[in-house]
Amino acid sequence: MNGDGHISVKDRVIIANPEPKFQGGFSSNVSWKDLSLYLMFNYSVGAERLYNNTLQNISGSLNNLIDYNLYNRWSEQNTSSRLPALYVDDPVPATNNLEVHKASYLKLSHLRIQYNLPVLWDARYYKGGQVYFAIANLFTITRYPGIDPATVGSATANYGGNYDSDIYPGVRSYTIGLRLNF
């Protein structure tokens, strides 16, 4: 990087920014007669994540995984690959820009469908109610290759808590409920 012809500590540069340029959320609540639909979205734009599994599965510890990156490595037959040649023993594994990926996303984090129950008897005792169905973490739209760009894994000081080695994604949950007002 510094042009002296030797790879050393002086060649280190910042290759990623884990902080998004902006992030936020928005929601919508639409009603028609006694039926309502609530949607809540979250988004993040501009963050970059170190996604370790780009190279980890085939460098250093194979973990018995066959990965598409294994077949797309540089070789004499595949000189146009951006992935380096496969080495059995790399004594100095280092993070590089091949592991940096854009982590922008749009996530539907909550959906709820609700029906307002009618008052069918004496209103002194029963004031109404609702039946509802809700889903959390329904889907994520992203180009990020990992499981979930919103989930931070392997939060080590070396990587500022922005290192993803495919830990578990946020849980998708389903809820059915009944609310009665007396």
Dihedral of alpha carbons 171, 175, 181, 182, sign: negative
The Cα 114–Cα 130 span in angstroms is 7
Q: Tell me the C-alpha distance between 10 and 7, whole Å.
A: 8
What are 133-156's pLDDT values in tens digits?
999 999 999 998 888 888 765 544
* Cα 51 to Cα 98: distance, rounded to the nearest angstrom: 9
Integer Cα distance of 140 and 43 in angstroms: 9
Q: How confident is the prediction for the chain on average, in pLDDT?
A: 79
Whether the Cβ atoms of residue 55 and residue 85 lie closer than 8 Å to each other: no
Question: Measured between alpha carbons, how far is 149 from 153 in angstroms, rounded to an integer?
Answer: 10
Q: Is the pTM of this model over 0.85?
A: no
32-90 pLDDT, tens digit each: 999 999 999 999 999 888 776 655 545 444 454 455 566 677 788 888 877 777 666 55
Query: pLDDT value at position 109?
Result: 95
